[in-house]
């Protein structure tokens, strides 16, 4: 499989982390299982062929859809040749880009036509290259941000601090907010609570350490990231990835970060 990342233009850097494409050209039509790990980010996906993948519940996915925060891992089934492009948004982008409360899409996806009137699907189908498709997405998202731009500095600070591993109590102290007030902000703009968001950020930090291969033991990872103990770390890892850290290291085929394929 060929995985590529395209950086967003400066006008979208506050909303989009990156654009990506994943292409698989093969004669092998056997079905494979892919895991979608929780990463704290909503996103948008366009499938050149909407018949390739089925969603977490076995349902057929829309050709062009937006998805919200995932509170736990999910599994997709698909195989054969496919070409998919996507957008990884910053955590609070659903409110800023589409003007909707993010908790409406938590653990959900929705066809783009249910959010806004657009011919974007046809435009993407008529593009002759991945770069043209990315340019179409750039233009569409820029127009959307002009309609719904929403900036909250306290929320931005909290998100960045939790990503860096700061304790929630320290974030609340810095912002002079109650836990309930910050929770309301997170549910509206991000779709999950600050506590859950911090757990997902810590899980992602552990995945990064495992990928680097520089940590000598799971206990060392658990202690370095502030887990109570190794078993606590493993429980969270299973919740957000579907497997233990050991199985992830030994068996996953991760051509695209956060989207491991599992051998049959």
Neighbours of 91 (CB within 10 A): 27
Confidence of residue 149 (pLDDT cuts 50, 70, 90): low
Given a cut of 90, whether residue 58 has pLDDT beyond it is no
Q: What are phi and psi of 6, to 5 degrees?
A: -120, 125
In this prediction, residues 172-189 reach a mean pLDDT of 96
The rounded distance, in Å, linking the Cα atoms of 169 and 232 is 20
Q: Is the dihedral of CA 152, 147, 198, 196 positive or negative?
A: positive
Query: What kind of fold does domain 2-148 have according to CATH?
Result: Jelly Rolls (2.60.120)
Confidence of residue 56 (pLDDT cuts 50, 70, 90): confident
The rounded distance, in Å, linking the Cα atoms of 33 and 242 is 12
The rounded distance, in Å, linking the Cα atoms of 40 and 191 is 10
By the 8 A CB rule, do 187 and 193 touch? yes
In this prediction, residues 151-168 reach a mean pLDDT of 93
pLDDT digits (tens, 9 = 90+) for 200-252: 999 999 999 998 886 778 999 999 999 999 999 999 999 999 999 999 988 88
What is residue 130's predicted lDDT score, i.e. its pLDDT?
Answer: 83
The listed CATH number (2.60.40.420, 1.25.40.10, 1.10.10.60, 3.40.50.720) that belongs to domain 153-244: 1.10.10.60
CA nearest 58: which of 86, 33, 25, 30? 33
What is residue 128's predicted lDDT score, i.e. its pLDDT?
Answer: 86
Strand-pair partners of 246: none
What is residue 264's predicted lDDT score, i.e. its pLDDT?
Answer: 60
Task: Provide the 8-state DSSP code for 142.
Answer: H
Average pLDDT of the chain is 91
pLDDT digits (tens, 9 = 90+) for 2-47: 889 999 999 999 999 999 998 888 777 677 888 999 999 999 999 9
What is residue 146's predicted lDDT score, i.e. its pLDDT?
Answer: 82
């Amino acid at each position: 499989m060929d995985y590529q990342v395209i950086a967003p233009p400066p006008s979208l850097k506050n909303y989009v982390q990156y654009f990506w494409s994943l292409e698989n050209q093969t004669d092998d039509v056997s079905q494979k299982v892919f895991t979608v790990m929780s990463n704290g980010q909503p996103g948008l996906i366009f499938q050149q062929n909407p018949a390739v993948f089925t969603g977490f519940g076995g349902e057929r996915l829309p050709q062009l859809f937006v998805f919200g925060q995932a509170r736990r891992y999910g599994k997709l089934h698909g195989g054969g040749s496919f070409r998919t492009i996507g957008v990884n948004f910053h955590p609070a982008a659903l409110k800023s880009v589409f003007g909707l409360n993010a908790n409406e899409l938590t653990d959900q996806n929705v066809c783009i036509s249910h959010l806004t009137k657009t011919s974007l699907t046809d435009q993407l189908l008529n593009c002759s290259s991945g770069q043209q498709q990315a340019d179409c997405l750039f233009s569409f998202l820029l127009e959307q941000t002009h309609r719904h731009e929403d900036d909250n500095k306290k929320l931005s600070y909290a998100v960045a601090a939790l990503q860096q591993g700061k304790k929630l109590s320290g974030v609340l102290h810095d912002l002079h907010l109650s836990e309930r007030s910050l929770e309301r902000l997170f549910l509206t703009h991000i779709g999950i609570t600050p506590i859950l968001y911090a757990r997902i950020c810590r899980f992602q930090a552990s995945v990064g350490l495992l990928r680097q291969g520089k940590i000598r033991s799971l206990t060392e990872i658990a202690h370095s990231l502030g887990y109570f103990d190794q078993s606590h770390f493993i429980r969270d890892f299973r919740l957000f990835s579907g497997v233990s850290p050991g199985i992830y290291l030994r068996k996953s085929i991760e051509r695209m970060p956060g989207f491991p394929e599992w051998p049959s």
